[in-house]
């Protein structure tokens, strides 16, 4: 795959994830008005639950202080820059889509941090008493993108090694 093709595919994936993430958050905040409702049952195993996440994925590093959202946003933008370099070197369509999805999700969460000082999380999956973390579309894209890259690296056919004969 050429770098230009990888960038085009990854860019489309990033833009799609970013748009879906921001549209869903806009609807949650201003259409549904989840901040005032706090929680809405969607299915027996799925709620929309309003959470302002000041940490990173799964609430890690929450409460680092007043400037934490700027620090985390800066770190995420540095990661996105690294992803852009990696994207140019992507060898497969799946890798390009995955890297783009991760980047689009990261940028969506960065925009939240800069706009609100926290990330808008609202998807709350649960089963009986068991409950998963509250997350958003960007988080899902990041996790799925990383999982796809790991799986792709494990199942990608490696070229046969060249065997040199000493004859």
Question: Which are the catalytic amino acids?
Answer: 121, 139
Greatest distance between any 2 Cα atoms in the chain: 79
- The β-bridge partners of 51 are 121
- Residue in the structure block whose two tokens are 């800069």: 114
Q: How many residues does the chain have?
A: 167
Exposure string over 80-95, b if 16+ CB within 10 A, otherwise e: beebbebbeebeeebb
């Amino acid at each position: 795959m050429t770098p230009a093709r990888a960038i085009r595919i990854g860019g489309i994936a990033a833009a799609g994830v970013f748009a879906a993430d921001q549209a869903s958050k806009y609807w949650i905040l201003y259409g549904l008005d989840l901040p005032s409702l706090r929680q809405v049952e969607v299915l027996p195993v799925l709620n929309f639950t309003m959470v302002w996440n000041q940490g990173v994925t799964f609430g890690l590093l929450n409460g680092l202080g007043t400037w934490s959202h700027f620090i985390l946003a800066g770190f995420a933008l540095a990661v996105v820059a690294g992803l852009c370099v990696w994207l140019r070197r992507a060898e497969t369509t799946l890798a390009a889509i995955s890297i783009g999805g991760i980047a689009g999700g990261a940028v969506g969460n960065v925009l939240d941090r800069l706009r609100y000082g926290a990330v808008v999380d609202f998807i709350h999956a649960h089963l009986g008493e068991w409950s998963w973390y509250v997350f958003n579309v960007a988080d899902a894209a990041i996790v799925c993108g990383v999982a796809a890259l790991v799986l792709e690296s494990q199942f990608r056919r490696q070229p046969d090694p060249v065997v040199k004969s000493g004859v």
